[in-house]
Amino acid sequence: MYRIIITIALIILAMPMFAETAIGSPCDVIPVPQQVEMGKGVYTWPEPDAFFHIKNGNGPLASYLKSLNNMTATDNQRKADISITITGDADAAQNESYSLTIKPDKIHIKAASETGAFYAIQSLQQMTRCGTVKRLQCCTVTDAPRFAYRGLHFDVSRHFRPKEFLLKQIDAMALLKFNNIHLHLTDAAGWRLQIDRYPLLTSLAAWRPYKRWEDWWNGDRSYCTQDDPRAYGGYYTKEDIREIIEYARARHINVVPEIEMPGHSEEVLAAYPELSCSGEPYRNGDFCIGNEETFTFLENVLSEVIDLFPSQYIHIGGDEATKEGWKTCPKCKQRMEQEGLADVDELQSYMIHRIEQFVQSKGRTVVGFDEIMQGGLAPGAVVMSWRGAEPGLEAMRQGNPAIMNPNAYYYLDYTQDAPFKEPVSIGGYTPLEKVYSFEPLPDSIPGDVAGNLLGVQANVWCEYITDDSHAEYMYYPRAFAVAETAWSQPEQKNYPDFRRRALNLVTQLRSMGYNTFDLANEYGDRKESTRPLKHLARGCKVIYNLPYSRQYPAAGDSALTDGVCGGWTYGDNRWQGTMRDMDVTIDLGSIKPVHYVGATFLQSVGAWVYMPRRVDIYLSDDGENFTLAGQAWCDVPDTSAEIRYKVYSTLCDASARYVRLHAVKYPKRGSWLFTDEIVIN
Question: Has domain 528-680 been given CATH number 2.60.120.260?
Answer: yes
Q: Could you give phi then psi for residue 408, rounded to 5 degrees?
A: -65, -20
**Does residue 556 contact residue 527 with C-beta atoms inside 8 Å?**
no
pTM here? Answer: 0.93
Single out the residue of 192, 205, 208, 116 nearest to residue 160, CA to CA: 192
- Share of residues in the chain with pLDDT > 70 (%): 96
pLDDT digits (tens, 9 = 90+) for 297-334: 999 999 999 999 999 999 999 999 999 999 999 999 99
Query: Distance of alpha carbon 606 from its chain centroid, rounded?
Result: 16
Q: Among 196, 239, 320, 622, which one carries the catalytic annotation?
A: 320
293 is catalytic: no
* Whether the predicted pLDDT of 351 surpasses 50: yes
Q: What angle do CA 45, 49, 50 make, to 5 degrees?
A: 55
Cβ neighbours for 44, distance < 8 A, ≥ 6 positions apart? 134, 135, 136
Q: What is the DSSP letter of 413?
A: T
The three-state secondary structure class of 258 is: strand
For residue 659, which of 534, 557, 553, 537 has the smallest C-alpha distance? 537
pLDDT in tens, 457-505: 999 999 999 999 999 999 999 999 999 999 999 999 999 999 999 999 9
User: Has residue 13 got a pLDDT over 70?
Assistant: no
Q: Which of 159, 264, 315, 662 is catalytic?
A: 264
Beta bridge partners of 147: none
Options 3.30.2290.10, 3.40.50.300, 3.40.50.1370, 3.20.20.80; which CATH number does 149-521 get? 3.20.20.80
As a whole number of angstroms, the distance between CA 112 and CA 282 comes to 54
- Interacting residues of 612 by C-beta distance below 8 A, sequence separation 6+: 581, 582, 601, 634, 648, 663, 664, 665, 666, 673
What is the CATH architecture of 2-143?
2-Layer Sandwich (3.30)
Question: How do the domains of the chain map onto residue ranges?
Answer: 2-143, 149-521, 528-680
Kindly report the average pLDDT of the chain as a whole number: 94
Residue 459 pairs in a beta bridge with 411
Distance CA 585, CA 618 (A): 9
pLDDT single digits (tens) 66-122: 999 889 999 999 999 999 999 987 665 678 999 999 999 999 999 999 999 999 999
Q: Is 260 a catalytic residue?
A: no
Among residues 28, 187, 472, 642, the one annotated as catalytic is 187
Catalytic residue status for 299: no
DSSP conformation letters of 268-315: HHHH-GGGBSSSSTTS-SSB-TT-HHHHHHHHHHHHHHHHH---SEEE
Nearest-angstrom CA–CA distance, 340 and 335: 8
Most confident of 19-28, 127-136, 261-270: 261-270
Contact 266, 281 (CB under 8 A): no
Give pLDDT tens digits for 353-376: 999 999 999 999 999 999 999 999
Q: Give yes or no for a cis peptide into 477 (omega within 30° of 0).
A: yes
